[in-house]
Amino acid sequence: MKVLVLTKPSFDTTLLRVDPKRNEIITKGVPYHINDHDKYALEISSLIKQKNPNVQIIAIGIGERESKDSMREAIVRGADEVYFIEKIPSIKYEPYIYANILAEAVRQLNPNLILCGTLSEDYISSSTHIFLSEILNWPIVTNVINIVNLTDSYIIVDRKRENIIETYEIKLPCIIGVTSGIVTLKTITPIQIMRISRDKVKTLNLVNLTFENTIEVQALIPIQAKQRKRVFIDGEKNMDEAVKTLIDNLIKEGLL
């Protein structure tokens, strides 16, 4: 059985800076790592293999050339094979484009099950796996908090929806989006990743891609929090006057 884990290379959001003059987020020079949410999918796939030794774990990611080395972490986390698809500069990337590229990779690799996180930390997107499900015509279950059982023909999972736990039995092939916290992540050090040979990450070349670009990210602009005016109204001496002042201020601000 082949389990394909979607592992997006992402810039480390904890190291992002803001250009105060242009009011833009600076990504140049920020190191890459595997999307934090996808690490849980890798961890789950490793646990699945412990129970089912015949499982082959394949990790795949799409990114800029300089992000390829970050995919070595997938091997440290238990992947048997790792594939990297380098972004083409002429293509404007967004979730639908990612999904089309991944769909072509799925047709080549022919997995029985796809695991992924439910969110990407760089652009806070949670739709690529949904688009992929539609393109492949595979069933999908998201917000999965537990893998109950996996056989050659179906998988049983627990899914959290608000205050309800739902249990699903889904026929393979299918896509499962796991939540962060589904397991405890192993601590991985940079040295462990650096010990993995670069040639362990294989480049996957796709030739049968036919799609139209739809969206292009022009800039990353941080949302600036508005400063509070900190207006203090003393109502101890004259409550009626204080209430009138409060109402007048609310009207001026357009809140009443």
Secondary structure of 113-178 in HEC code, one letter for each residue = EEEEECCCCCCCCCCHHHHHHHHHCCCEEEEEEEEEEECCCEEEEEEEECCEEEEEEEECCEEEEE
How many other β-carbons are positioned within 10 Å of the β-carbon of residue 173? Answer: 18
pLDDT digits (tens, 9 = 90+) for 198-223: 999 999 987 566 656 555 666 666 66
Residue linked to tokens 């736990």: 165
The tens digit of pLDDT for each residue in 127-165 reads 899 999 999 999 999 999 999 999 999 999 999 988 899
| Domain range summary for the chain, segments of one domain joined by + | 2-203, 226-256
The neighbour count for residue 170, using CB atoms within 10 Å, is 17
CATH number (3.30.70.360, 3.40.50.2300, 3.40.50.300, 3.40.50.620) of 2-203 reads 3.40.50.620
Residue 57 has phi, psi (to 5 degrees) of: -95, 125
Q: Tell me the torsion sign for CA atoms 128, 131, 137, 143.
A: positive
Render pLDDT for 76-115 as a digit per residue (tens, 0 to 9).
Answer: 999 999 999 998 776 777 888 889 999 999 999 999 999 9
Three-state secondary structure string covering 55-106: CEEEEEEEECHHHHHHHHHHHHCCCCEEEEEECCCCCCCCHHHHHHHHHHHH
List b or e across 227-247, with b for residues whose CB sees 16 or more CB atoms inside 10 angstroms: eeeeeeeeeeeeeeeeeeeee
DSSP H or E segment with residue 36 = helix 36-51
If we measure between CA atoms, which residue out of 182, 111, 110 comes closest to residue 148?
182
The predicted pLDDT at position 226 comes to 62
Burial code (b: 16+ CB inside 10 Å, e: under 16) for 147-156 equals beebeeeebe
